[in-house]
Amino acid sequence: MAKSSDDLTGLMVHAYNNHLAAMAGFTELALLECEQPAVKEKLELSMNSALAAASLGKQLLSAISRLQVIFQTNQLETLLKKFSSATLIFQSDSVKQLSICTDEEWFRYCLGLISDFCLKWDGSEQNKLTLHINAIPDKRVQLIINIAELSLTPEQQSCLFQPFYSGRLINQPKEVGLAVVDGFIRQMKGTLSWNTDQGFVIELPAE
C-alpha cells in the first residue's frame, strides 16, 4: 500500500514500465516477422519511441528514489555480513575500519538485484557468487561480485545498464533492475561497471 504521494508515484512509474516493456516486446516480435519495408519502417519508429520512453522511465525512477532514500554512515563489514547469503559469500580481510554513506535497505536491495541477474544468467541457483572487497587509494573501496563465466559481446556491455535490455541478455522477462542499481550507485557518488575478468565492479567513496 502506498504510504505517501512519492510511494504512489513510484507505483505508477513501475506500472508504466510494465506496460512499456510489453509494447516494446510485441514491437520487437513484429519487426522479426515483418517483410514489408513500409510497415517495418513504422515499427522501427515505434521501437525508437519505446527506447526514448524507457530512458524517461529511468530518470523518473532515479528522481523518485532520491526522494525516498536516507543516507547514513554504515560500517561496511557489518553491512555486507548482513547481506551474505547461501548464494553470495562475502570475503575480505581489509575493510574492518571502512565505512560508506548509503541507505542500508536500498544498498542491500541493489546487491540483490546484481546477484539475481548473475544467477539467472548462470541458470543454476546452486552456484556461488563471491563478493570481494578491495581498499584502493584516495579513500575509495571496490566491491567485486565475481561471475567471470558471464560472456558479453561489446554491444551487450554497452547496453548492460539500460532499462529493458539486460533481461534480454539472459532470455528473461524485461526489467529495469540493473538500471536502478546504476542510478543508486551514482547517487552514492560511485560507479558500477562490468569487468570481463572479474564481473560486476562497484567503486565507492569510503570514510
Instruction: Establish how many alpha carbons lie within 13 A of residue 50's alpha carbon, considering only the half-sphere containing its beta carbon.
Output: 22
pLDDT at 61: 65
pLDDT digits (tens, 9 = 90+) for 61-95: 665 655 567 889 998 888 887 776 656 777 666 66
Taking residue 65's Cβ as centre, other Cβ atoms within 10 Å add up to 17
For residue 1, name the pLDDT band (cuts at 50, 70, 90).
Answer: very low
- From residue 6, give the alpha-carbon distance in Å to each of 57, 66, 149: 15, 10, 39
For residue 32, name the pLDDT band (cuts at 50, 70, 90).
Answer: confident
For range 32-53, the mean pLDDT: 85
Residue % of the chain over a pLDDT of 70: 74
Q: Which residue has the higher pLDDT, 159 or 203?
A: 203
Query: What is the rounded end-to-end Cα distance, in angstroms, of the chain?
Result: 36
Taking residue 156's Cβ as centre, other Cβ atoms within 10 Å add up to 15
* Cα dihedral 156/161/53/38 (nearest 10): 0
pLDDT at 193: 92
pLDDT digits (tens, 9 = 90+) for 3-30: 445 555 666 666 777 777 778 888 888 8
Q: Which of 4-8, 37-41, 171-175 has the lowest mean pLDDT?
A: 4-8
Alpha helices, H only, the chain: 5-33, 37-68, 76-83, 104-122, 154-159, 166-169, 177-187
10-46 per-residue burial string, b: 16 or more CB within 10 A, e: under 16: beebeeebeebbeebbebbeeeeebeeeeeeeebeeb
Q: Which residues have CB under 8 Å from 65's CB, separation 6+?
A: 106, 180, 183, 184, 187
pLDDT at 87: 64
* 171: pLDDT strictly greater than 70: no
For range 110-136, the mean pLDDT: 75
Q: What mean pLDDT is reported for the chain? A: 77
